[in-house]
Amino acid sequence: MNSLRIIGGRYRRRILRFPDSEGLRPTPDRVRETLFNWLGQELDGERCLDLFAGSGALGFEAASRGAAQVVMVEQAPKVLAALRENAKMLHNPPEVEIIGGDALQYLSSTKSKFDLIFLDPPFKKDWIPRLESLLSGVANEDAAVYIEAEHEIGALGDWRAVRHGKAGEVHYQLMRREAVLTNSIIALRSIRVPSTPSPVVTRTSCGGRAACSTS
């Protein structure tokens, strides 16, 4: 059995255990730290979807950092059983829901909407293109999508990468909708910075010499 630790929040330093499984690559501590720096460390009130939950590193980390809801989807039976054991070790947090099933089927059937979606599918199986058309149906307007892949992903449908990193052979990126980014730029441009008036220079006589003062 393999293990990793939760690195932040109320479950910090708690150990998660998980079995070997084809395609399972737990997100390393350093990458998780970078991701949650991008997200602002805390996820208070966020609704999160961990679509290929695997070790549970991302989903349980999100729960530890204050997420209001964390749905973890996993298909491999042994990995799914380990996720449930880890939830039990954490006293079954009420915000965590663990679902056994296929990622595409879940996306096609759920009515839930999420603020943050984690996608860390097995490599070399073309999962990302198959998921692309279904993401918008489960994402809130200003949602973020985090993806780990074997190559850099600059764009995915109407999503654009706003952060990117690389650890070994893994590229990880945080993405947001292009429309949200455009609206943010427009809002920034509409903010007017008040101009600072130039100082008024007056000249007075002081002991026969000209002295300057500003007001």
Q: Hey, what are 48's tokens?
A: 């999160």
pLDDT-above-90 percentage for the chain: 70
Sign of CA dihedral 92, 39, 115, 72: negative
Four-CA torsion 46, 51, 54, 58, nearest 10 degrees: -20
Tens of pLDDT, residue by residue over 108-159, are 999 999 999 999 999 888 899 999 989 989 999 999 999 999 999 999 988 9
Tens of pLDDT, residue by residue over 70-116, are 999 999 999 999 999 999 999 999 999 999 999 999 999 999 999 99
Could you give all domains of the chain from N- to C-terminal order, each with its CATH number?
2-214 (3.40.50.150)
